[in-house]
Structure 1
């Protein structure tokens, strides 16, 4: 009988620190990022902070 291995998921590849008494998984998995969704990280935060309305000054 051939043993079938389950597919490897991005969660299987995430780093886990096992050096302390406890270990914690990262709060965000690799597939829960823009890169994980296949999107590029395009933000315009800098422009929005520079382009504030006049009444904010």
Structure 2
């Protein structure tokens, strides 16, 4: 039987620096970000802090 390889994932293609004596993988992958989940990266926080109700003084 022929062995079927699973499809490549984005984690399989991330760069890893192996040039030193020790190496570490990144703490966060692309899939573990807002952009990886298809969310926008622009922040709405500044507008929300400026657009406060009148009773907030």
TM-score, reference length from structure 1: 0.69
TM-score, reference length from structure 2: 0.69
Which structure 2 residue ranges, 5 or more long, are not aligned?
51-55
Moved beyond 2 Å, runs of 4+: 44-49
Provide the alpha-carbon RMSD of the alignment. Answer: 2.1
Shift of 1:44: 2.9
Number of equivalent positions: 53
Which structure 1 residue ranges, 5 or more long, are not aligned?
none
